[in-house]
């Protein structure tokens, strides 16, 4: 693995799920066509939205569409793998647009690499991240802290991961997260608060979101052998506009 292989990192800020999905798809098309030559990571925070994947069972969506609307939560059906999940404020969502043929053309390998990256990120907060045999995502002490669901076309990936940082965990009561019965969801903030309650002085900082972003980028870089470079949304949009021209 070439440790100097670039990773373009684009922060989308707060963006609706639909708009971010269109950016993902346009970026993936540009990557497939070779217009964008490097792997790229989109980082975003979504307004409250529940998304359903290809494996979603109706019983895992616990509210009616009207009840979701009353809580200000959008419903969105997508083409990723996996079951139902939640995205919302305080959650770091990452969409890696990766050419797996430059790494390993194996989606199961890719999923495990994403898990390893997030486990490395959590270690920077002294939180022990874990994989769970037979399941996708990242846990800590039996509590789920990150969800993963991906899609690929011609070995170019999109969709990705959602790491709970300061997320309001009550939103997860509206669904069976990832279709896992009796799962307990947690966040970086909650794990640090548990530690503080237990008598340590490691409390969440006001900059927790930025710290989590930096830790995740570093974890991905270490796992995949990338050298991260900031790539502004304006630069990306300009590249996508060029790619869309006949």
Residue whose entry in the numeric block shows the structure tokens 């684009």: 10
Spot the catalytic one: 26, 84, 178, 208: 178
Going through 98-242 in order, the beta strands assigned E by DSSP cover 138-140, 143-153, 156-164, 226-230
| 38: its two tokens | 């490097």
CA separation for the pair 6, 16 (Å, rounded): 27
CA separation for the pair 4, 225 (Å, rounded): 7
Closest to 90 measured CA to CA, from 229, 224, 185: 185
The question of whether 201 is a catalytic residue gets the answer: no
- For residue 36, how many other CB atoms are within 10 A of its CB? 24
Burial class (CB within 10 angstroms; exposed 0-12, middle 13-18, buried 19+) of 132: middle
Contact (CB, 8 A) for 141 and 128: yes
Residue 171: helix, strand or coil by DSSP? Answer: helix
Active site residues: 178
């Amino acid at each position: 693995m070439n440790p100097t292989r670039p990773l373009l990192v684009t922060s989308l800020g707060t963006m609706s799920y639909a708009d971010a999905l269109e950016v993902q798809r346009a970026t993936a098309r540009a990557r497939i066509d070779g217009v964008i030559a490097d792997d790229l990571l989109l980082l975003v925070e979504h307004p409250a939205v529940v998304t359903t994947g290809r494996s979603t069972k109706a019983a895992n969506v616990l509210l009616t569409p009207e009840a979701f609307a009353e809580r200000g939560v959008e419903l969105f059906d997508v083409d990723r793998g996996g079951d139902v999940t939640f995205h919302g404020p305080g959650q770091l969502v990452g969409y890696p647009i990766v050419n797996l043929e430059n790494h390993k053309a194996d989606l199961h390998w890719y999923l495990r690499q994403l898990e390893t990256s997030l486990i490395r990120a959590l270690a920077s907060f002294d939180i022990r991240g874990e994989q769970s045999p037979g399941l996708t995502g990242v846990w800590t002490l039996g509590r789920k802290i990150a969800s993963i669901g991906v899609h690929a076309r011609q070995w170019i990936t999109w969709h990705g991961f959602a790491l709970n940082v300061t997320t309001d965990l009550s939103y997860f009561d509206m669904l069976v997260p990832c279709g896992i019965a009796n799962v307990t969801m947690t966040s970086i903030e909650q794990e640090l608060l548990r530690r503080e309650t237990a008598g340590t002085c490691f409390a969440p900082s006001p900059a927790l979101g930025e710290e989590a972003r930096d830790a995740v980028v570093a974890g991905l870089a270490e796992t995949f052998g990338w050298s991260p470079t900031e790539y502004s949304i304006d630069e990306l949009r300009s590249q996508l506009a060029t790619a869309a021209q006949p």
